[in-house]
């Protein structure tokens, strides 16, 4: 297993725990999965969601909410989590699906794919936030769950690193947008590149940022009206 560097003092005492998982195990839920997503606010690339089932009898230290870790720390912990966890799966909703379905439905789709990818019957799901986007299984929603639940924190790292790797790979296919640095999120360089070149194939073309790019000749994609209005005379 890859050795992780010592934790910085600022996050050393902010470890997520297993209290929620243990309560569920004791109540009869054998397989408890923590899930978390990344990419909701991005202008480009997929929405990515990870599901992780942690072992009961083997602890992995230095797992933290992915937002607390540096990129290099996340990379190391990602590989350690893959080796340690009982089950790990990642599901995506592509930028096309985000456009066509809307973000809420895309998140549900990514969750379904991630949970199905575990290839095990999940009894209960721990969800970061306060919205049930799983719907098909018993869930517990936890505000700031990635800072509280070890399962969710592990999922947050796997989701973040997986998507970041995809966006770094996309940087070579679509140079100029600085995807390796911004991962598709808004920033001055990304905005300037859109103004100069218009959107590329992995941009979400129904998002509001497209409204500012009309002079490039590429208009925002709009859902057609399914029931055209009749003209009145």
pLDDT, tens digit, for every residue of 80-138? 999 999 999 999 999 999 999 999 999 999 999 999 999 999 999 999 999 999 999 99
Domain that holds residue 187: 174-216
Q: What pLDDT score does 231 carry?
A: 52
Residues 35 and 86 in one domain: yes
Report residue 233's pLDDT band, with 50, 70 and 90 as the boundaries.
very low
User: How confident is the model over 40-85, as pLDDT tens digits?
Assistant: 999 999 999 999 999 999 999 899 999 999 999 999 999 999 999 9
Residues 151 and 59 in one domain: yes
Is the Cβ–Cβ distance between 148 and 20 less than 8 Å? Answer: yes
The reply to whether 7 falls in a domain is no
Q: What pLDDT score does 68 carry?
A: 94
177-to-12, 73, 171, 180 alpha-carbon distances in Å: 35, 25, 7, 9
Residues 54 and 84 in one domain: yes
Residues 132 and 164 in one domain: yes
User: How confident is the model over 137-187, as pLDDT tens digits?
Assistant: 999 999 999 999 999 999 999 999 999 999 999 999 999 999 999 999 999
Residue with tokens 């009869």: 28
Strands 139-142 and 87-93: unpaired
Residues 183 and 166 in one domain: no
Q: Which one of 133, 154, 170 terminates a domain?
A: 170
pTM of the model: 0.90
Residues 46 and 124 in one domain: yes
């Amino acid at each position: 297993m890859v050795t992780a560097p010592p934790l910085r003092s600022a996050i050393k005492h902010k470890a997520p725990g297993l209290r929620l998982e243990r309560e569920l195990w004791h109540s009869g839920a054998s397989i408890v999965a923590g899930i978390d997503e990344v990419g909701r606010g991005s202008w480009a690339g997929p929405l990515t969601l990870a599901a992780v089932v942690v072992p009961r009898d083997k602890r992995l230290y230095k797992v933290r909410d992915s937002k607390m870790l540096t990129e290099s720390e996340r990379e190391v912990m990602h590989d350690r989590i893959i080796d340690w966890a009982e089950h790990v799966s990642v599901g995506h909703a592509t930028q096309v699906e985000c456009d066509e379905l809307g973000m809420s439905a895309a998140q549900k789709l990514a969750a379904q794919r991630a949970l199905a990818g575990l290839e095990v019957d999940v009894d209960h799901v721990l969800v970061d936030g306060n919205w049930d986007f799983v719907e098909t299984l018993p869930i517990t929603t936890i505000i700031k769950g990635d800072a509280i639940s070890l399962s969710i924190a592990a999922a947050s790292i796997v989701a973040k690193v997986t998507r970041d790797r995809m966006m770094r790979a996309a940087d070579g296919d679509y140079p100029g947008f600085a995807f390796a640095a911004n991962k598709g999120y808004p920033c001055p360089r990304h905005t300037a590149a859109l103004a100069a070149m218009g959107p590329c194939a992995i941009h979400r073309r129904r998002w509001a940022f497209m409204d500012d790019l009309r002079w490039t000749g590429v208009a925002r994609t709009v859902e057609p009206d399914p029931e055209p209005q009749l003209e009145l005379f």
